[in-house]
Chain A
Amino acid sequence: MEARQVKEKFWFFLCGLAMVVIGLALGVVVGFIALRGGRVLSLEFLFSFPRHGMSEGGILPAIVGTLYLVLGSTLVSLPLGVLSAVYLVEYAPPHPVVQAIRSAIHCLAGVPSVVFGLFGLSVFVKLFGFGVSIVSGSLTLGIMSLPVVIASCEEALRSVPRSFREASLALGADRWTTVRRVVLPAAFPGILTGLILAIGRVAGETAPIMFTAATFYARGLPRSPFDRVLALPYHIYGLMTEGTRPEKQIPLAYGTALVLLILVLLVNFSAILLRRRFRVARKW
Chain B
Amino acid sequence: MSERRKRGLGKKPQDTAGLVLFFVALSSVAFILGIIAVLFVEGLPALSHVSLSEFFLGRRWYPVSSPPRFGLLPLLLGSLFVTLGGLAFAVPLGFLAAVFLAEICPRGLRELLKPVIEILAGIPSVVYGFFGVVFLAPFLREIFTLPTGLTALTASMLLGLMAVPVVVSVMEDALTAVPRDYREAALALGATRWETIKEVVVPAASSGIGAAVILGAGRIIGETMTVLMVAGGAALIPRSFFQPVRTMTAAIAAEMAETPVGSLHYRVLFLVAVVLFAITLLFDLVVNFFGRREFWRR
Question: What residues of chain A have their CB less than 8 Å away from a CB belonging to chain B?
Answer: 4-5, 7-8, 11-12, 14-19, 21-22, 25-26, 28-30, 32-33, 36, 79-80, 83-84, 86-88, 91-92, 97, 100-101, 104-119, 121-123, 126, 143, 146-148, 150-152, 155, 174-176, 179, 200-201, 203-207, 210-211, 233-234, 236-237, 240-241, 250, 253-254, 257, 260-261, 264-265, 267-269, 272, 276
| Complex Cα spacing A210 to B29, Å | 25
Q: Which residues of B contact A205 (CB under 8 A)?
A: 124
Q: Which residues of B contact A29 (CB under 8 A)?
A: 123, 127-128, 131, 161
**Is B256 an interface position by the 8 A CB rule?**
yes
From residue A260, how far is it (CB to closest CB) to chain B in Å? 6
What are some 5 contacts across the A-B interface (CB < 8 A)? A91-B18, A118-B38, A175-B15, A240-B229, A250-B134
Known A106-B296, A264-B122; contact A114-B253, beta-carbon cutoff 8 A: yes
Q: Residue on A with the closest CB to B292?
A: A106
**Is B45 an interface position by the 8 A CB rule?**
no
Per CB-CB distance, the 9 closest pairs between chain A and chain B, nearest first, are: A204-B124, A112-B222, A18-B96, A176-B17, A15-B100, A8-B194, A87-B21, A87-B25, A207-B224
Q: Which residues of A contact B47 (CB under 8 A)?
A: none
Q: Residue on A with the closest CB to B115?
A: A272
| Complex Cα spacing A168 to B261, Å | 55
Q: Is A206 in contact with B96, judged by CB distance below 8 angstroms?
A: no
Q: Is B31 in contact with A146, judged by CB distance below 8 angstroms?
A: yes
Q: Is A22 in contact with B27, judged by CB distance below 8 angstroms?
A: no
Q: Is B283 in contact with A118, judged by CB distance below 8 angstroms?
A: no
Q: Is A112 in contact with B28, judged by CB distance below 8 angstroms?
A: no
Q: Which residues of A contact B15 (CB under 8 A)?
A: 174-176
| Complex Cα spacing A87 to B29, Å | 14
Main SS class of interface, B = helix
| Complex Cα spacing A30 to B122, Å | 12
Known A18-B93, A33-B127, A176-B18; contact A87-B104, beta-carbon cutoff 8 A: no
Q: Is A110 in contact with B218, judged by CB distance below 8 angstroms?
A: yes
Other than the given A28-B135, A115-B276, 11 more pairs (CB < 8 A) read A15-B100, A29-B128, A32-B135, A104-B33, A109-B296, A114-B253, A122-B38, A176-B18, A240-B133, A241-B229, A268-B122
Q: Is A112 in contact with B32, judged by CB distance below 8 angstroms?
A: no
| Complex Cα spacing A116 to B36, Å | 11
Q: Which of A108, A110, A206 has the most CB of B within 10 A?
A: A110
**Is B88 an interface position by the 8 A CB rule?**
no
Question: What residues of chain B have their CB less than 8 Å away from a CB belonging to chain A?
Answer: 13, 15, 17-18, 20-22, 24-29, 31-35, 38-39, 41-42, 92-97, 99-101, 103-105, 113, 115, 117-131, 133-135, 161, 164, 168, 192-195, 198, 218, 221-225, 228-229, 249, 252-253, 256-257, 261, 269-270, 273, 276-277, 280-281, 283-284, 288, 294, 296-297
| Complex Cα spacing A129 to B125, Å | 29
Q: Is B127 in contact with A147, judged by CB distance below 8 angstroms?
A: no
Q: Which of B28, B115, B276 has the most CB of A within 10 A?
A: B28
Q: Is B229 in contact with A267, judged by CB distance below 8 angstroms?
A: no
Cβ-defined partner of B280 (8 Å) among A91, A111, A264 = A111
Q: Residue on B with the closest CB to A270?
A: B119
Q: Which of A87, A88, A113, A179 has the most CB of B within 10 A?
A: A87
